[in-house]
Chain A
Amino acid sequence: MTGLDFGVIQRALPFLLEGLALSFFLTAVAMLGGVILGLGLAVIRLSRWKALSILAAGYVNGFRAIPLVLVIFWFYFLVPLALGRSVSALQSVVIAFVLFEAAYYSEIFRAGLQSIRPGQWQAAYACGLGYFQTLRLVVLPQALRNMLPLMITQAVVLFQDTSLVYVISLRDFMTSASIVANRDNRLIETYLVAALVYFVICSIGAASASRLSARWRPA
């Protein structure tokens, strides 16, 4: 071995950044979709409609019992079958991530909504607010404060999980780094930098989560 040469990173930078962009894109879309769908699932699960509530619980527990890699694989093969037409790997993986993340965000929402005292619902109802008004104006703003640290933590995990898209040959940051490492035979340098990039991004996420939870101790 003839010492480390980090020039390989500089030469491959545009290629690596492309990969990083996909990682960020997947994280953002999966988070956005997962939060919206997850909120819906949590509301249904906590609702009075028994049958729907059981369905939602089944969905959440089902997805949480399956490894994400498997879900990515499945959707790659199942979505084209279900739609009856071919679908790009990216489209299938976006659907897989959103549906998978929804299960986890739904649990975060459920805990968040249940953290609000029943008296808050009653006080809002007593003023004539309806269910969805109470949810939107009174309960969710309070619940979000309690939930935000957990949501960020979940996003950090999600960002790391985007590396799993290599199984269907999508080129995220990790896959790009792998390609560069093998092509230029610079495994140590490339994987060191890759680890550093993940470490920095995820640390920033984790730090902001703990800062938020310190600032927003419930009154």
Chain B
Amino acid sequence: MTKAHIQASRTPAEIVEMPASVRVVPISQGRKPMVEISKLYKSYGPIEVLKGCDLVVERGEVVVICGPSGSGKSTLIKCVNGLERFDRGALVVDGVRVGERASDMTSLRARIGMVSQHFELYPHLTVLQNICLAQVHVLKRSKVEAQAKARALLARVGLPDKEGAYPAQLSGGQQQRVAIARALAMDPVAMLFDEPTSALDPEMIGEVLAVMLELARDGMTMIVVTHEMGFARKAADRVVFMDKGAIVETAPTQQFFDEPRAERAKLFLSRILSQ
């Protein structure tokens, strides 16, 4: 039985219960980092939203970015695939210099998956068509090939029977899992998650996190903006804490939770964990 078969047969609950030990693909050493952010600045008019952020994400690494709202987390992650422009600094993603005219952003975006807070499935297309659209029009896969890929991914995110449904017929958690499948269909080298569970009802958060956790265990490079500290503990290699447009603390997960250094991070953690 192949790995895909085993994954497809696992229920989300079982995935959550798996010990957080085994990582299928180790973090790569010696190769160029996936994302290199250096001295990134951005302002909306007089408001400075990024104040010189530095962050390096290695291949295979899972980084969780947290912090109070308005701290620039979403802006930072959207800069990584060029959905937001930045004013100053340098940003290299998978060898491509983001923000330079000559850079091929379209092909970079095809390699970097993104999942946003509000799912943003295409409402006029079925689930299957949603997952096939970019495969066919960007990667130029045949329709048959794209559909086979889509069906395999729908099984992987636990929605094998929803391919003919329209987004409006699905719950929020199901829509978000389809959105993850849509991003994975492009065979991304890295995935960006922008508050993937913050628009979901509490009972649906678990099913989305389970899919993300499995992805992390498979060795996907991930940058996740989230307040789900349980997910951070289980999946993240490092946690980045942002406040008022600056990266205040970057620490290995264990260290971040056990002994956060920045005062602001301590306060944030005590508030969010007491909830």
Contact = CB atoms under 8 A, between A and B. Distances in A.
A120 interface: yes
Nearest to B134: A127
B123 A126 contact: no
Residue among B118, B124, B133 having the largest count of chain A Cβ atoms under 10 Å: B124
B122 interface: yes
A6 interface: no
Nearest to B78: A122
B106 A130 contact: yes
A99 B59 CA distance: 55
Interface of B: 78, 81, 83, 106-107, 109-114, 116, 118, 120-124, 133-134, 137-139, 166-168, 179, 182-183, 186
B166 A219 contact: yes
B122 A120 contact: yes
Interface of A: 117, 119-120, 122-130, 133, 137-138, 141-142, 145, 218-219
A174 B210 CA distance: 69
Given A130-B106, A137-B137, A218-B123, 11 more contacts: A119-B116, A120-B120, A122-B116, A125-B83, A125-B109, A126-B113, A128-B109, A133-B137, A138-B133, A142-B123, A219-B166
Nearest to A136: B137
Contacts of B137: 129, 133, 137
28 contacts: A117-B120, A122-B116, A123-B120, A123-B121, A126-B81, A126-B83, A126-B113, A127-B110, A127-B133, A127-B134, A127-B183, A128-B106, A128-B107, A128-B109, A128-B110, A128-B138, A129-B106, A129-B134, A130-B106, A133-B137, A133-B138, A137-B133, A138-B122, A141-B124, A142-B123, A218-B123, A219-B167, A219-B168
Contacts of B134: 124, 127-129
